[in-house]
Every structure is written in structure tokens, then in C-alpha cells.
Structure 1
């Protein structure tokens, strides 16, 4: 029995390690491609990610049968999934654009404010009020980012606004997902939701890429003739983007939502340290203090929510 228990624990540790490495890996690779390598096409990069998610989701569900295939029941449900896909697109594209201008450390500090936006959207869209203590914990979350912004040596206003947009869109998607797909007949697990959202995202991103990043395919092929690494980097990066979603689903399945939150907070901090070591972007004491305050606020927020839900 204890052997089974320890192998189960090892499996969970392996899952969390895979989730961490794929998550941080995609973030660092995106940063490397978009700013260090000079591949200045964030919309095309997002489209590559979505194409990989479409293909690999289909393989995982239809062939490998990792989860049962769930079908779309109605046109209304399809419209809801399409709306979620558009918001998902907006969050990923904005996040990738922000990486072009901001260091990963600052990007993660802003990303940590997701609970603030989630609470705001939940309040306005569902009129669901949290306990006042929960709202109080959001003060350090926001204050930390304001301090980090003031102390960020590589601050870039457009990049900052894009990152705020990405964070808000991520929060909006999670709130909307809860509202739109809450009825029993419409519930989709995240693997199936990605299977339907990713192709819709490709359809949206294709004209956007052609219009806003013209001749990107030609430029990529020309780059590949000089340096074939770009093709391998794009393929690996896209596969990794799917792996982030897959490991996120598996970690949620094998642990609890709260564990996921705690691990998520720690993941941001790990990403910050690794990115500073790799990219050697300048960091100020003020910036790090601000980021620490934000993470501390997020931990308090998780605790406050846990107390109010367990009552």
C-alpha cells in the first residue's frame, strides 16, 4: 500500500515539475523569440501555438483517449465557446506582445494581479460579493504592482498596457467560462474546451496575422534558409504551449484547485528568478519589493477565499 502511495506521490511531483518546466519554458522561449532573437511577430507566434493546440488536442482526445470526447450540444453552446475563444486569443496575443517590450520578471508581477481582475469581473457580472476581508487582501496585490512599475528600470508603457490587457482578459475568460458553461449539459473539461477553442482561435488569428504582420510566412521561410533553428524553435515552442494546457489540466485533476493556486504563485516567483539569471535584465530593489508584496497579497487572497468558502 505504501509503495502505491509513494508512486502516486512521485507521479504528482513529476506532473507538477512538468507543469512548471513547460509553463516557464514557454514564457522564456516566447521572450527569447520576440525580443532577443528578433522574431517580431507575436500574432503569428500565437497562431502557431493555437494550431499545435488544435492538432495535439485532437490526438490526445480522439486517438489517445486521455479524456472522453465531449460534443458541442447546440448552436448557442458553440457561440459561447467562440466568445471564450476570442477572449482567450486576446489574452495570449496581448501577453506575447507585452513580452516584446517587458522583461519576464515584470510581466509576471503584472500577471499576479489576476485575482484582482477576477474579483472585479465576478462582482460586476454575477453580482457575487466576497467577504470584505477578501477584498482587503486585493489592496497589497495592486499596490505591489504600482510599486514594481515605479521601480522597473525597463518600464515600457505600451508593453505595460498590453500586459494589463492580457491579465484582465485571462480573468474575464475564467469568470465567463463559469457563467457560460455552468449548466450540467454544457460543462466541458478544459481539454475538450481547448479542442474547440483552438481551431476557432486559428480562424480568427489567420486574417489578423496576414493583415497586421504581412508576409510573415515569407519572412519566416527566408529566416529558416539562413538559420534552420527558427523552425525547430517555433515547433518546440508551439508543442510546449499545448503541454502547458495539458499539464495544467492533469495537475488540477490530481491535486486540488487550492494547491494549484499555491503552486501557481510559487511558479511566478521561480519564473522571475530564472528569467533574471538567463536574460540578465536589470532589476531594482523597489521592483522586487513590489513583486513580493503582490505575491504576498495573492497568498492572503487565496487564504481569505478558502476561509469564506469553507464556512
Structure 2
């Protein structure tokens, strides 16, 4: 099941982007659950243990993320499960359940925030719609494009995101920023020109996925800015909304085809494979959280770039995909531009804009648990 290209829920990149503080009316509280010890913080581990955990999580994230891409490609192209919205829905349904168990039942992740139903319906559900569209079109491309070419096109995402930020006045264009994205654009154009199995439908779906992802990020920055969810906690709130949209869309658009073409029989014949694919989607987000906690968001971005390059070679080895020298040159140019873009984006910024606070009535009052305010 595909995950959001940002793969870290409501990532710290946008939380730190403007130097904002939590909006008025959001109470961050530390809850002492009766009979349950508080979760162990990663920062409480020894320095050696943290380094070992960082290395292990980084390697695991790259392996799991790459495996998810290859499994999705296999299910969509080779196994005959041609229902991208249903496939995304399976992953989001599993993620919704797993993240709730991790945060609320086992309490392996410290989830401190509580939000009202009105806030959830008016702010999180709309963001979930664009997350669902991102995942849907992100899976559709596996029907038309090679794994290698898909990874190359992902380098184009910063350009669409930057345009969306410029249009909403959330980002000020600079010469360096424009130069980096232009390098990405030229490299992607060269890589596309050198692609042997070029499909206009596949490229259109890929750009649609990236456009919806950019919209989701902008909406997240405007609507949910200040709610500093970690990846798993954010997934606990976002995944149910995304799953609901995907379920509705799958019933309307794919339901009849699934029944006629035996889509349910495919799942029944290989339940372990589909369950594994669903679990991989959640694992990507959970491991991203650990990587950010033990390293930084920059670490995750660097690993993502390396992972995409590795997946290009895996596509060549596992699916006999062809990458021409011209295509490889274009992809290398895109990677250089992508590296410069990330360097610019992660430099310290000064606050440029304030946002409307979240109304106090949108925050649920604490329950019977003993609550003490964080210092």
C-alpha cells in the first residue's frame, strides 16, 4: 500500500518552517494512565544506544520503503489487482488500526493531544481527501510506468510544491530556490525524453499525485500548523479520514469491477501477501518517526534520495526495466538539484507569517485521568 510521498505524517519540516508555536486552545498535556507506565522516550537512551537505533532504523526504513514500492508494483502489474484505490484503502485501514493500537493501547508512542469532532471534520477530513487522492494516483502509475521511471519523476515533486507555496504566499521566491528547481525540471525532462516505455497517461497520473501531495502539504501548513504531531500520532488522526475517502471512492469507482473480475478472490488466494503490503505501509511511517527522533528530518530526506536511486536499480534487476544513458544523466541532474533544494529548505528561517489560532472549543477537555501541564 502506497504511503504519502512525505511518509512522516505531519512532518517536522513544515512544523519548523515558520518557527510557529502551538496555536492557542491546543493543550499539550502529559497524561499518567492508571496502571500503565509512561512510554520510554528515545532521548532517555544512552548515546551509544541512540546511535545504534538510528543506524538500525535508517537501514530498516530504506529496506521497508523500497519493499513497499516493489510489492505495490507486483500486485498492480503482475498479480492482476488493478484497483489502485482499493489497494491504497487496505494500507490506510491497516495504518489507522495499527497507529491507534501503538498510541492508545500499547502506548509505545506518547500521544498527548486531544481534538474535538468538529475540528476533525472541518480540518483533518479535508486534508485526508487530498492524501487519499495522492495515494490513489500514486498507485495508478504502476499500471503504466516502470518502477525506475516513477522514482525519477518523484524528483519533480519540489517544483509543484514550490509553485503551490508561491501561489498561496506561504513561500517567498528566491534566486537560489528557483535555480535549484529549474535544475530538477531540466533533469526530469531529459530523463523523460530518454524513457523507453513512456506513457502520457502514466506521467499525467504521476503529476496528479504530486499535485495533490503539494496541495495536502499546503493545507497542512495552513490548517494544521502548530499541531506538532509525530509521524505515528499524526497517522492515527489522518489515516481514518484518508481511509474513509478511499473506501467511498473504491465502492463507487471500483466496486463493480472488483466483484466482476474477482478482486476479492485475489486477496483471499494470497492473504499473507496483501497483509504484508498493508503492514509495510504503516512500518514506513513508524520507522520514519524513529529516524527523525534519533537523527533529523534532513537524515530522512537524504535517505529518501538514496532509496529512490536504489529502487531504480532494483527495477532494472527485478523487472528487467531499461534505463538509457540519457535517462540516467537526466536523473543525476535531478538528484543534484534535489539536494540543493533540500539544503536551501532546511536552512534556519525567521517567522514571516502568523496564523489564526484554533478555537478553544475545538479542544476536548481531559477525561478522568490525572493531568499535569508540560513545562
Alpha-carbon distance, 1:259 to partner: 2.0
Q: Does 1:212 align with 2:253?
A: yes
Distance in 2 separating the partners of 1:93 and 1:307: 33
SS at match of 1:137: helix
Q: Does 1:241 align with 2:281?
A: yes
Of the structure 1 ranges 74-83 and 88-97, higher mean CA displacement relative to structure 2 is found in 74-83
Contact 2:157 2:210 in 1 (8 A): yes
Give 2:76's aligned residue. Answer: 34
Contact 1:108 1:272 in 2 (8 A): yes
Give 2:132's aligned residue. Answer: 89
SS at match of 1:188: coil
Give 2:341's aligned residue. Answer: 301
Give 1:118's aligned residue. Answer: 161
SS at match of 2:168: helix
Of the structure 1 ranges 74-83 and 108-117, higher mean CA displacement relative to structure 2 is found in 74-83
Distance in 1 separating the partners of 2:107 and 2:319: 40
Give 2:53's aligned residue. Answer: 11
Contact 1:98 1:159 in 2 (8 A): yes
Moved over 6 A (4+): none
Equivalent residue runs for 1:95-244 within 5 Å: 95-183=138-226, 186-213=227-254, 214-216=256-258, 219-223=262-266, 228=269, 230-244=270-284
Distance in 2 separating the partners of 1:189 and 1:19: 16
Distance in 2 separating the partners of 1:101 and 1:302: 29
Contact 1:144 1:294 in 2 (8 A): yes
Query: If each structure's helix is expressed as a fraction of its own residues, which one has the higher value?
Result: 1
Distance in 2 separating the partners of 1:127 and 1:196: 25
Give 1:55's aligned residue. Answer: 97
Distance in 2 separating the partners of 1:105 and 1:146: 15
Contact 2:134 2:209 in 1 (8 A): yes
Of the structure 1 ranges 44-53 and 268-277, higher mean CA displacement relative to structure 2 is found in 268-277
Contact 2:267 2:274 in 1 (8 A): no
Give 2:15's aligned residue. Answer: none
Query: Kindly tell me: are residues 281 and 79 of structure 1, through their superposed partners in 2, closer, same or farther at Cα, counting changes over 3 Å?
Result: same
Distance in 2 separating the partners of 1:273 and 1:181: 37
Of the structure 1 ranges 300-309 and 126-135, higher mean CA displacement relative to structure 2 is found in 300-309
Contact 2:134 2:212 in 1 (8 A): yes
Contact 2:71 2:277 in 1 (8 A): yes
Structure with higher RCO (Cα < 8 A, 6+ apart): 2
CA offsets, 1:92-119, max 9 Å, x none?
Answer: 1100000111111111111112221221
Q: 1:262 aligns with which of 275, 285, 302?
A: 302
Contact 1:72 1:78 in 2 (8 A): no
Of the structure 1 ranges 106-115 and 4-13, higher mean CA displacement relative to structure 2 is found in 4-13
Q: 1:291 aligns with which of 321, 328, 331?
A: 331
CA RMSD, 1 decimal: 2.0
SS at match of 2:196: coil
Contact 2:128 2:245 in 1 (8 A): no
